[in-house]
Amino acid sequence: MKPIIRLTAAIALTLGLTLAASAQAASVNGEVKKIDEAAGKITLKHGAAKSLGMDEPMTMVYRVKDPAMLKQVKVGDKVTFEAEEAASGYTVTKMQKAK
């Protein structure tokens, strides 16, 4: 039984490290260019976002998952964000001011 326990522990550790690495890779650094609270949208200038299939830096308009995120930032703020692609376009799911 000990070899099975070791194998299971090794697989769990590898999977955990892989998930942590991919979660970090999903974060994108950007700058707030415009905020449209009424529409629930934010314009972000950012570098490549490999997790979204964007290999080049660009400026894009994103929807926000939670409109309260828009009150935490202002134009010119540097942010770190995560986004996902949905049928209605790209949506910011997490965002915080960069440190």
pLDDT one-digit tens code per residue, 29-42 = 999 999 999 999 99
pTM score of the predicted model: 0.73
> Under the phi-then-psi rule, with left for phi > 0, alpha for psi from -120 to 50, and beta for the rest, what region is 29?
beta
| Highest CATH level, class, for 27-97 | mainly beta
| 15: DSSP letter | H
Residue 18 has pLDDT above 60, yes or no: no
pLDDT one-digit tens code per residue, 57-97 = 999 999 999 999 999 999 999 999 999 998 889 999 999 99
pLDDT attached to residue 75: 98
pLDDT attached to residue 4: 74
Per the CB < 8 A criterion, the answer to whether 81 and 26 are in contact is no
